[in-house]
Amino acid sequence: MIPQWIIEKKRDGGVLSDSEIREFVDAFTEGTVPDYQMSALAMAIYFKGMTIAETAALTLAMLESGTRLDTTPLGRPTADKHSTGGIGDKISLILAPLVAACGVAVPMISGRGLGITGGTLDKLEAIPGYRTDLTEKAFLKVVNTCGCSIIGQTRRLAPADRKLYALRDVTGTVPSIPLITASILSKKLAEDLDALVLDVKCGRGAFMKTPAMARNLAKTLVQVATALGTRTAAVISAMDLPTGCAVGNAPEVAEAIAALQGQASADVEDLTLTLGCRMLLLTRVCRTPAEARTRLCDAWKSGRGLDIFRKMIELQQGNSRVIDRPELLFKGAQRQVVKAPRAGFVTAINSEDIGRACLILGAGRQRTTDRVDPTAGVADLKQVGTSVSRGEPLAVLVSRSSHAFPEAVQFIGRAFELQDRPPARPAKLILGACV
User: Whole-angstrom Cα distance, residue 94 to residue 1?
Assistant: 47
Sheet holding 334-339, edge to edge: 247-248, 377-379, 393-399, 334-339
Q: Is 331 part of the annotated catalytic residue set?
A: no
Does the protein bind ligand URA through residue 153 (CB under 6 A)?
Answer: no
State the catalytic residue, choosing from 161, 194, 199, 353: 161
Helix (H, G, I), strand (E, B) or coil at 265: coil
Q: Which of 21, 91, 150, 180 binds ligand URA (CB under 6 A)?
A: 180
Residue number with the smallest Cβ distance to ligand URA: 183
Stretch that binds ligand URA, among 96-104, 179-187, 371-379, 425-433 (CB under 6 A): 179-187
Q: How far is CA 124 from the centre of its chain?
A: 12
How many residues are present in the chain? 435
- Total binding residues toward ligand URA, as defined by CB under 6 A: 8
Judge whether 187 counts as a catalytic residue. yes
151 binds ligand URA (CB under 6 A): no
CB atoms within 10 A of CB 397: 28
Within 10 angstroms of residue 42's Cβ, the number of other Cβ atoms is 21
| 110 labelled catalytic | no
d(CA 257, CA 168): 35
Closest distance between ligand URA and the C-beta of residue 338, in Å? Answer: 30
237 in contact with ligand URA (CB under 6 A): no
Pairing of strands 106-110, 148-152: parallel
Shortest distance, CB of residue 277 to ligand URA, whole angstroms? Answer: 24
Does residue 86 interact with ligand URA by CB under 6 A? no
Q: Looking at this protein, which amino acid is placed at residue 193?
A: L
Give yes or no for residue 111 binding ligand URA (CB under 6 A): yes
Considering the complex, state which of residue 217 and residue 292 has its C-beta at the smaller distance from ligand URA.
217
Q: Is 197 in the site for ligand URA (CB under 6 A)?
A: no
DSSP annotation of 152 reads E
Q: For residues 120 and 126, what is the distance between their CA atoms, to the nearest angstrom?
A: 10
Q: Across-strand partners of 79?
A: 195
* 184 part of the interface to ligand URA, by CB under 6 A: yes
Catalytic residue among 90, 187, 188, 311: 187
Of the residues 10, 22, 82, 304, which is catalytic?
Answer: 82
Contacts of 77 (CB under 8 A, 6+ apart): 103, 104, 105, 194, 195, 283, 284, 285
List 201's β-bridge partners, or say none.
Answer: 237
List the catalytic residue out of 22, 163, 168, 231.
Answer: 168
- Taking the C-alpha atoms of residue 427 and residue 430, their distance in angstroms, rounded to an integer, is 10
* Residue of the chain from 29, 120, 183, 375 that contacts ligand URA (CB under 6 A): 183
Question: Using CB under 6 A, which of the segments 59-67, 139-147, 180-188, 374-382 binds ligand URA?
Answer: 180-188
Give the 3-state DSSP-derived string for 167-200, with helices as H, strands as E and coil as C: HHHHHCCCCCHHHHHHHHHHHHHHHCCCEEEEEE
| Closest C-alpha among 155, 114, 149 to residue 132 | 149
Least distance (Å) between residue 184 CB and ligand URA: 5
Stretch that binds ligand URA, among 92-100, 178-186, 365-373, 410-418 (CB under 6 A): 178-186
Judged by CB under 6 A, the stretch of 71-79, 176-184, 196-204, 391-399 that binds ligand URA is 176-184
Summarize as ranges the residues that interact with ligand URA (CB under 6 A): 84-85, 111, 174, 179-180, 183-184
Active site (catalytic) residues: 82, 161, 168, 183, 187
